[in-house]
A = this chain, B = another copy of it.
Amino acid sequence: MIYVAILGFGVVGSGAAEVLASNRAVIEKNLGKAVTVKRILDLREFPDSPFGHLVTHDFNDILNDPEISVVAEMMGGSHPAYDFTKACLEAGKHVVTSNKEVVARFGAELLEIAAAHGVRYLFEASVGGGIPVIRPMVNDLASNEIERVDGILNGTTNYILTQMIAGATFENALKEAQAKGYAEANPAADVEGLDAARKIVILAALSFGTLLSPDKIHCEGITKLTLADVAVAKKLGCSIKLIGHTERSNGKVLAMVSPRLVPLDNPLSGITDVFNGILVDANMVGKVMFYGAGAGKLPTASAVVADIIDIVAHMESDNVRAPKFTVATDADYADFSAYACRTCVAFENTAGAAEKIAAVFGDVKTVTEGDRIAFISDEMTEKTLTDLIAKTDLTLCSRIRVLG
């Protein structure tokens, strides 16, 4: 019998208890061992939960219990989640987590502490909710050099953008997302892109070995997107998605989050509602994509429990591969101002606009939509684009990067 403790009995924490209980038989069959929740740490009481009698308010009840060998941290936030994780690892307990904030900020240090104490720190659920992506990247793509990753990493913003493509305004779509429980009352971390930024730095660390700070990468959310932008994208044969992007750039690492036009032949373009997709480009296998529910109680809990199973399956092995990455130094950050991509530029469609665009941008295909004229530029840096836009002497409506 393997005893597990749960830190944080919120949505994901209670989901993990539920997955372990409902799928007890299949888990025991797969492992040859039963896995049981022994204690749950939360400040609240849960008299109506079947797990209510396991609740403690004292972290030491878990830390000092030698029977508990695996701790699942699903508290959210940096503190005390980070502190409890560190204490558990130092006490020789394995830790699994869905907490992207802790992984994005302290993942390198916690992996090192885990290795030093002969235990494991796994975080499949921190990116893509229930989608298997971290373990496949570490194990299945181990024969590859990963070249870039593009992902729809936040379900809330993808739901809002899906609603906008169907005609809703940003404000109404956000209200609906809140009513359905997808978005928090304070949706800033989602709509401003910070949640996606945390996830893309985790994926960048797995791909390139360097953990950037989510606060130091370029991060734009979706709050400035309008229905006119969506309509222009459609005319250009694209959908609009919030994309986390990372690539290696001259030995450094570039990571960023921003809205992008996604051409319809890219498999990310068709991902709707709260689903997520992570498209990985690797030097031997080419493009592979992982798709599924990017959030939600049971999907995310399913990934947490998969990590617990992985740990239990390899408990007696001293030769388990762990992801390895180090904290980025300033020298690891690629120069964002040198990043070049194609961009969708929309101007007010005033007299002679098409000619002015052609004079500055050359032979680009323009479309008109409402009072706008728009086109997709060649690949260029932000600065070059800004200079060319100024040269047209036209009124800019919007500029949105293109994925490609």
Contact = CB atoms under 8 A, between A and B. Distances in A.
Interface of A: 19-20, 22-23, 26-27, 30-31, 124, 130-132, 135-136, 139-145, 265, 267, 269-272, 275, 282-293, 296, 298-299, 301-303, 305-306, 308-310, 313-321
5 contacts: A23-B145, A139-B309, A141-B306, A284-B298, A288-B290
A19 to B, nearest CB: 5
Contacts of A271: 267
A125 to B, nearest CB: 10
A349 to B, nearest CB: 31
B302 A282 contact: yes
A320 to B, nearest CB: 7
Given A289-B291, A301-B284, A27 B140 contact: no
How many copies altogether?
2
A395 to B, nearest CB: 36
Contacts of A296: 286
B288 A291 contact: yes
B288 A132 contact: yes
A41 to B, nearest CB: 21
B136 A302 contact: no
A143 to B, nearest CB: 4
Contacts of A275: 267
A139 B306 contact: yes
Contact of A144 (B26, B136, B284): B26
Contacts of A289: 289-292
Top 4 nearest A-B pairs (CB, nearest first) are: A132-B140, A317-B317, A288-B292, A143-B305
A264 to B, nearest CB: 8
B293 A139 contact: no
A291 B293 contact: no
> Which of A19, A27, A143, A144: most chain B CB closer than 10 A?
A143
Contacts of A135: 136, 139-140
B132 A141 contact: yes
A136 B143 contact: no
Contacts of A272: 265
B314 A316 contact: no
Given A132-B136, A286-B296, 9 more contacts: A19-B284, A22-B284, A27-B143, A130-B284, A131-B285, A135-B140, A136-B140, A265-B272, A285-B302
A271 B293 CA distance: 19
Contacts of A141: 132, 302, 306
Contacts of A288: 130-132, 290-293
A14 to B, nearest CB: 13
Contacts of A303: 140, 143, 285
A269 B270 CA distance: 9
